[in-house]
Structure 1
């Protein structure tokens, strides 16, 4: 099973009422939640580890996981409130305002984290759950406790406006990257983490020096690349009429993991023998499913039945 570890929240999506006023529709979301849902829809055995409230929004999150074939037995439930993220859309691109103080997700500690069954073969981390303490430290410590015998993928999904202590965040991120196998970043994320000096390959190599075996860089309309210490591979973006970009990166990650799962690559022993070129089919799947997601409103990843091969 692929266990997605991180935030599950409610996106408040802007909409128009019949009278023309702006209203906000509550939709399940969060980068890690979205990836778990996308994996479930792609017929991958997936679960979510997150702090989830017993409030009505938390119950909506749990129902949505069940509807999308995602295991919820490793959730940490509490009576704290759910995190809300107000979505602001401009020209199809999304920015967010987070309401997260003392939330069920943010207040997780390592003591809350469950022991993992042997069926969990892969851990996936990322998003705002790696920023906001104490949960951010809990996830880092959880990775240190549980990651050694499992494949680990991280997508930091950097949101500079959400980071209050960049020094602490960078140190935590470096600790987690050192324990990971695959790091996926956008080109903007890459610049934030390793600096803007040099070309893309040089920056990717600086990222690899932090400890991961593979670095995947998404390049928007230019597609995506994967790097290892010895080479690289590239895939083109799939053409799509963009409605909005909500959940695009999260779905891309699910596509990558789903193809690696399908190809039997998600074990530490197998992964060690792979090269960047071996991950090109996984990136192709990621680009395919992301293109479907951006062609429709919200984080609405495709089902396996919608894919061509």
Structure 2
């Protein structure tokens, strides 16, 4: 089982109401939730570790997760409100305004979380849950206590506007990345982490020096680049599709990558340490295709496994 650890929230997607004006449609969102739903739709055994509110939005999130075959035994049920993320699209790129004070996820304490399912062999951390305290410390503690013996993926998904104490955030995030087997981040994330790096290659090498066995940098329409400790660098293109928006694109890419590695029997620490260029290319190509289908749809709406066998407009 793959456990996605992090936020589950409501994305308020722009949807003009009847009669005109400005309106929003509540849709399930959040990095960990998006990845979990995508993995479930791809046929993977997956669970979510988070806090879900008892309010109507929390119920909506639970229903969406269950419909995509995500195990909820690792979820803490709490009475605090659900985080709302209002989305504004600029040229198809999402901008967010978060309403997160005293929310279910942000105020998560380590003691609130149920025991992890014994079947969990991979932990996937990321999103705003790594920045917003005190919940961020609960996830860092979870990794510290339960990361040993499991494959760990970290997706920083950095939102600078949510970072209140940059030094503290960098310290916590760096410690978590040093425990990772796989790092997935955008080129913008890499630029924020290493503003002095002259190029992606240099930034990725700095991340590999922390200890991961694989670093993958996604670059939107420019595709993705993968880096291995032995100096191997792989690039794969992004399939050409008509983009509706990019909400959840990186989260879906992660799901495609993990699903491909799992299906190849490579989602173990030992196998990742021996990953060869052909295996990495196949996994990244699959991830890019899954993400391309998702961005061709409005909101975060990843494909089901049977849809990957269907032709898609290029």
2:198 is matched with: 198
**Residues of 2 paired with 1:102 and 1:193: CA distance?**
28
2:254 is matched with: 253
2:294 is matched with: 293
Please say if residues 227 and 276 of structure 1, whose CA atoms lie closer than 8 Å, have aligned partners that are also in contact. no
2:87 is matched with: 87
CA drift at 1:212 = 1.2
CA drift at 1:275 = 3.7
* Segment of structure 1 superposing worse, 142-151 or 187-196: 187-196
CA drift at 1:194 = 2.0
1:33 is matched with: 33
Q: For structure 1, which runs of at least 5 residues remain unmatched after alignment? A: none
1:132 is matched with: 132
1:105 is matched with: 105
**Residues of 2 paired with 1:191 and 1:117: CA distance?**
36
- Aligned structure 1 segments of 4 or more residues deviating by more than 6 angstroms: none
**Residues of 1 paired with 2:33 and 2:20: CA distance?**
31
CA drift at 1:200 = 2.0
1:161 is matched with: 161
Where 2:73 maps in the other structure, the secondary structure is coil
CA drift at 1:299 = 0.3
2:3 is matched with: 3
**Residues of 2 paired with 1:96 and 1:87: CA distance?**
5
CA drift at 1:262 = 0.6
1:282 is matched with: 283
CA drift at 1:31 = 1.0
Please say if residues 13 and 86 of structure 1, whose CA atoms lie closer than 8 Å, have aligned partners that are also in contact. yes
Offset from partner CA, 1:135-185 (integer Å, 9 cap, x none): 101101110111111000011111111111111110010010010000001
CA drift at 1:197 = 2.5
1:150 is matched with: 150
**Residues of 1 paired with 2:41 and 2:117: CA distance?**
23
Please say if residues 6 and 50 of structure 1, whose CA atoms lie closer than 8 Å, have aligned partners that are also in contact. yes
Please say if residues 16 and 22 of structure 2, whose CA atoms lie closer than 8 Å, have aligned partners that are also in contact. yes
Where 2:235 maps in the other structure, the secondary structure is strand
Q: What's the TM-score, normalizing by structure 2? A: 0.96
Q: What's the TM-score, normalizing by structure 1? A: 0.97
RMSD: 1.2
Where 2:65 maps in the other structure, the secondary structure is helix
**Residues of 1 paired with 2:277 and 2:48: CA distance?**
28
Shift in CA distance, 276/198, structure 1 to aligned 2, threshold 3 Å: farther
2:51 is matched with: 51
Please say if residues 214 and 276 of structure 1, whose CA atoms lie closer than 8 Å, have aligned partners that are also in contact. no
**Residues of 1 paired with 2:6 and 2:200: CA distance?**
28
For this pair of structures, how many residues does the alignment match?
A: 309
CA drift at 1:267 = 1.6
Please say if residues 7 and 129 of structure 1, whose CA atoms lie closer than 8 Å, have aligned partners that are also in contact. yes
CA drift at 1:308 = 3.0
**Residues of 2 paired with 1:239 and 1:287: CA distance?**
10
CA drift at 1:203 = 1.4
Offset from partner CA, 1:212-262 (integer Å, 9 cap, x none): 111100112221111011111111111110111111111111100110111
Please say if residues 73 and 114 of structure 2, whose CA atoms lie closer than 8 Å, have aligned partners that are also in contact. no
Q: For structure 2, which runs of at least 5 residues remain unmatched after alignment? A: none
Shift in CA distance, 103/276, structure 1 to aligned 2, threshold 3 Å: farther
Where 1:307 maps in the other structure, the secondary structure is helix
Offset from partner CA, 1:174-213 (integer Å, 9 cap, x none): 0100100000011111111122422221211011112211
1:240 is matched with: 241
**Residues of 2 paired with 1:196 and 1:216: CA distance?**
19
